[in-house]
């Protein structure tokens, strides 16, 4: 959601803040702002719209100082106007605050402040925090300790006070904050991508922590003001990985990074000698795995699609009944959890609020809790007792691509580990392990396909306002994912459906300008799917299919085939999704949309 950066150092702070915000812009971007500790008080600049609007203001109205805070906003309370942009201040302009999250007692705090005669200047919950801090006495950290107990909901806040020009105070409950420890400078941000170009030494703040940040380091306090120790970690991501590297968009770069991302994920966990999975050091104990009788997979969005594939893979390889839930539903129902259940929270960011809440429910119910996550040290990483890191590297494009394909690989790896723990491993595992190792080459082949085919596919979809994506079996989640990718970045309406369901409703929509995209790889239900495609054609719909190049029967039914190589049936989702990612990307570019920062979306959804 929103992006936060804070800096206490010796460099001019405005370029540092703007650079940090540029790296965070993908999280939320309807307005932005900075606060700088100037010689005569706090200087504030805010602008609605894209970051470039703030950059222009900063050029024309320069602020000077070496300490400051900045924010990119994804609106929750109040429209995305300049008045509602952060930083927000108290009425005296003594305190400035940036905030990610939502205050649930917003209405009562607002009533209380208005009754006390405070004139509020924005519709935000953030201003309430600034006003509350302004009404307390003492050093900023003491004010924070007094105010924090009055805040209900989810928040990551970074604040400054004009009487302490060398201090930034950060505190959190819910959305993440990470401190970057540099040489003579200390930073704080909502996301490590904003720190990487200055330091790789980081300290993750935990819920309830209050961090007092100065040039020479950070003191972390608990709710009573007692000092806490938090470990410093060194990140293995380098700054170059969060640059576009010559590609027009992050999304395109990330699509093309998939062979490496998959290779790294496979290599990290494969035990070639045993034809199995090596989970040493990750907290998975084979004896614990052997006690498990059921699996629950919980996630949101694209990660939920990975779980749907995971159900097919885990049930086929292990025989363990596997349920898949939207995390936002799981957290509010009464799932049957127990010690024999493995609950897997699947999340690229590790910060999705609903997924974290679902995982907490599972932990409290006594389940074995694990996470498949792309960000080491994130909240899901800390919450889980065992963890599998997808090795996709930083994913900046809002539309998830390489994180998804590595999640699919992780599902196979977890299934192989469970299978071995349940004594079901046999020689067929070696075949699957070999195919996993060849998978990056298969994805490279998909990426090398003639661009002309994508140009034709783009024409078919870009000229229509609606489309239907169909698949069956393990490939029906890929139809859902293909449709989601198109919606997210092209703003064209697309429905994903299991093909067998088409006749139960969606067929009513089909006509000439309503194309069908089928995920039609070889398998036991392909004949059935081809039957569904014939039905669609009979209604005048154009048909595009993802299928193996030599699949004659698909070529006979489809107007256009996007070819993929033949792979192991459990790995088909990985090769099948790549053409759909490229298709969505090309349509969005053709329509002139901002591919990396689609409207209304945020990379990491840290509020409900």
Which residue, 399 or 543, is less far from ligand AGP as judged by CB? Answer: 399
CB-wise, 12 or 237, nearer to ligand AGP? 237
What is the Cα–Cα distance from 546 to 527, expressed in whole angstroms? 14
141 half-sphere exposure, CB direction, 13 A CA radius:
20
Rounded CA gap, 113 and 221, in Å?
A: 27
Buried b (16+ CB within 10 A) or exposed e, 479-489: bbbbbbbbbbb
Which one-letter DSSP state was computed for residue 412? H
* SS3 per-residue string spanning 61-109: CCCCCCEEEEEEECCCCCCCCCCCCCCEECCCCCEEEEEEEEECCHHHH
Q: Among the options 253, 311, 402, 603, which is catalytic?
A: 603
Q: Shortest approach of ligand AGP to residue 351 CB, angstroms?
A: 7
188 vs 7: CA distance, rounded Å:
7
Q: How far is CA 560 from the centre of its chain?
A: 32
Q: Which of 2, 275, 300, 307 is catalytic?
A: 2
CA–chain centroid gap for 94, Å, is 35
| Subset of residues 463 to 502 that bind ligand AGP, contact rule: CB under 6 A | 488
190 touches ligand AGP by CB under 6 A = no
The stretch near ligand AGP (CB under 6 A) out of 101-109, 395-403, 470-478, 582-590 is 395-403
CB closer to ligand AGP, 247 vs 326 = 326
Among 328, 400, 405, 597, binds ligand AGP (CB under 6 A): 400
| Farthest-apart Cα atoms in the chain, separation | 77
Using rule CB under 6 A, residue 604 touches ligand AGP: yes
Stretch that binds ligand AGP, among 65-73, 115-123, 348-356, 517-525 (CB under 6 A): 348-356
Nearer to ligand AGP, 309 or 520 (CB): 309
2 annotated active-site: yes
Rounded least distance, CB 346 to ligand AGP, Å: 7
303 is an interface residue for ligand AGP by CB under 6 A: yes
Residue owning tokens 């609950």 = 343
Q: How far is the CB of 374 from ligand AGP (least distance, A)?
A: 8
The nearest distance, CB 395 to ligand AGP, in angstroms, is: 9
Asked if 347 interacts with ligand AGP (CB under 6 A), we say: yes
Rounded to a whole number of angstroms, the minimum distance from the CB of residue 396 to ligand AGP is: 12
Of 95-103, 269-277, 360-368, 392-400: span binding ligand AGP (CB under 6 A): 392-400
Residues touching ligand AGP, count (CB under 6 A)? 16
Burial string for 104-131 (b: 16+ CB within 10 Å, else e) reads: eebeebbeebeeeebeeebbbbbbbbbb
Output 85 or 255, the one with its CB closest to ligand AGP: 255
Of the pair 127, 351, the CB lying nearest ligand AGP is at: 351
CB atoms inside a 10 Å sphere around CB 574: 28
* Cα Rg of the chain (Å, integer): 25
Helix, strand, or coil here: 187?
Answer: strand
532 is a contact residue toward ligand AGP (CB under 6 A): no
Among 4, 324, 399, 518, binds ligand AGP (CB under 6 A): 399
The full length of the chain comes to: 608
Is 352 near ligand AGP (CB under 6 A)? yes
**Contact region with ligand AGP (CB under 6 A), list: 98-106, 394-402, 420-428, 576-584:** 394-402
Find the binder of ligand AGP among 131, 348, 525, 597 (CB under 6 A).
348
130 counts as binding ligand AGP under rule CB under 6 A: no
Nearer to ligand AGP, 449 or 601 (CB): 601
Q: Stretches 76-84, 179-187, 246-254, 341-349: which one binds ligand AGP (CB under 6 A)?
A: 341-349
> Of 17-25, 157-165, 280-288, 397-405, which segment contacts ligand AGP by CB under 6 A?
397-405
446 vs 469: CA distance, rounded Å? 19
Using CB under 6 A as the binding rule, whether residue 349 contacts ligand AGP is answered as yes
Which CB, 276 or 598, lies closer to ligand AGP? Answer: 598
Instruction: Provide the minimum distance between the beta carbon of 183 and ligand AGP in the complex, in angstroms, as a whole number.
Output: 32
Q: How many whole angstroms separate alpha carbon 470 and alpha carbon 490?
A: 19
Q: Is 597 in the site for ligand AGP (CB under 6 A)?
A: no
Q: Which of 126/355 has CB closer to ligand AGP? A: 355
Distance CA 223, CA 229 (A): 14
Would you say 95 or 189 has its CB closer to ligand AGP? 189
- Quick one: which segment of 152-160, 396-404, 439-447, 563-571 binds ligand AGP (CB under 6 A)? 396-404
β-strand 67-73 against 3-8: which pairing, if any?
A: antiparallel
Q: How many CA atoms lie within 13 A of 52 on its CB side?
A: 0
- Judged by CB under 6 A, does residue 355 bind ligand AGP? yes
Phi-psi region of 150 (alpha: psi -120 to 50; beta: other; left: phi over 0): alpha
Figure out which of the listed residues 301, 393, 440, 482 binds ligand AGP, where binding follows CB under 6 A.
Answer: 301
Interface with ligand AGP, residue 412, by CB under 6 A:
no
Closer of 302 and 458 to ligand AGP (Cβ): 302
500 DSSP assignment: G
Which run of H or E residues covers position 579? helix 572-590
- Write down the residue that tokens 């519709």 correspond to: 123
> Which distant-in-sequence residues (6+ apart) come within 8 Å of 606 by Cβ?
1, 100, 101, 154, 156, 174, 175, 176, 351, 352, 353
Instruction: Report the residue from 398, 480, 533, 574 that binds ligand AGP according to the rule CB under 6 A.
Output: 398
Is the dihedral angle over the CA atoms 207, 212, 217, 219 positive or is it negative?
negative
Residues making contact with ligand AGP (CB under 6 A): 300-303, 347-349, 352, 355, 398-400, 488, 601, 604-605
List residues with catalytic annotation: 2, 603
């Amino acid at each position: 959601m929103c992006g936060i950066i804070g800096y206490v150092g010796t460099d001019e702070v405005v370029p540092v803040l703007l650079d940090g915000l540029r790296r965070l812009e993908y999280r939320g971007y309807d307005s932005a702002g900075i606060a700088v500790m100037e010689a005569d008080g706090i200087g504030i600049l805010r602008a609605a719209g894209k970051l470039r609007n703030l950059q222009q203001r900063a050029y024309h109205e320069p602020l000077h100082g070496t300490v400051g805070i900045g924010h990119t906003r994804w609106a929750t309370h109040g429209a995305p106007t300049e008045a509602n942009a952060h930083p927000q201040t108290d009425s005296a302009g003594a305190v400035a605050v940036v905030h990610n999250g939502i205050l649930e007692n917003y209405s009562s705090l607002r009533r209380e402040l208005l009754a006390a005669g405070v004139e509020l200047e924005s519709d935000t919950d953030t201003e309430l925090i600034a006003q509350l801090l302004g009404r307390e006495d003492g050093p900023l950290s003491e004010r924070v300790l007094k105010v924090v107990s009055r805040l209900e909901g989810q928040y990551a806040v970074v604040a400054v006070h004009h009487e302490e020009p060398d201090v930034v105070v950060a505190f959190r409950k819910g959305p993440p904050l990470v401190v970057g420890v540099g040489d003579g400078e200390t930073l704080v941000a909502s996301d490590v991508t904003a720190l990487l170009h200055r330091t790789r030494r980081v300290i993750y703040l935990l819920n309830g922590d209050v961090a007092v940040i100065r040039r020479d380091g950070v003191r972390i306090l608990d709710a009573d003001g007692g000092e806490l120790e938090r470990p410093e970690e060194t990140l293995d991501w380098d700054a170059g990985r969060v640059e576009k590297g010559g590609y027009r968009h992050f999304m395109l770069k990330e699509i093309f990074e998939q062979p490496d991302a998959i290779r790294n994920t496979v290599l990290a966990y494969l035990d070639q000698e045993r034809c199995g999975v090596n989970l040493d050091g990750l907290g998975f104990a084979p004896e614990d795995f052997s006690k498990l009788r059921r699996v629950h997979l919980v996630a949101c969005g694209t990660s939920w699609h990975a779980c749907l594939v995971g159900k097919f893979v885990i049930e086929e390889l292990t025989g363990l009944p596997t349920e898949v839930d939207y995390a936002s539903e799981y957290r509010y129902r009464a799932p049957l959890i127990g010690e024999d259940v493995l609950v897997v929270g699947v999340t690229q960011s590790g910060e999705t609020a609903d997924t974290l809440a679902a995982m907490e429910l599972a932990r409290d119910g006594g389940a074995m809790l694990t996470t498949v996550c792309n960000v080491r040290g994130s909240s899901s990483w800390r919450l889980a007792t065992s963890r599998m890191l997808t090795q996709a590297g930083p994913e900046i494009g809002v539309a998830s691509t390489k994180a998804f394909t590595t999640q699919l690989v992780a599902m196979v790896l977890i299934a192989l580990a469970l299978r071995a723990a349940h004594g079901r491993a046999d020689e067929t595992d070696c075949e699957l392990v070999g195919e996993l190792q060849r998978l990056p080459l298969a994805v490279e082949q998909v990426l090398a396909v003639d661009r002309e085919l994508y140009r034709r596919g783009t024409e078919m979809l870009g000229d229509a306002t609606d489309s239907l994506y169909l698949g069956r079996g393990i490939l029906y989640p890929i139809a859902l994912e293909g449709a989601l990718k198109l919606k997210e970045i092209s703003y064209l309406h697309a429905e994903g459906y299991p093909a067998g369901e088409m006749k139960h409703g969606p067929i009513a929509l089909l006509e000439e300008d309503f194309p069908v995209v089928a995920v039609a790889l070889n398998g036991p239900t392909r004949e059935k799917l081809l039957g569904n495609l014939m039905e669609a054609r009979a209604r005048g719909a154009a048909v595009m299919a993802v299928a193996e190049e030599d699949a004659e029967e698909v070529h006979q039914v489809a107007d256009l085939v996007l070819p993929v190589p033949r792979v192991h049936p459990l790995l088909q989702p990985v090769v099948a999704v790549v053409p759909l990612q490229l298709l969505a990307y090309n349509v969005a570019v053709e329509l002139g949309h901002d591919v990396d920062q689609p409207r209304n979306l945020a990379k990491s959804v840290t509020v409900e």
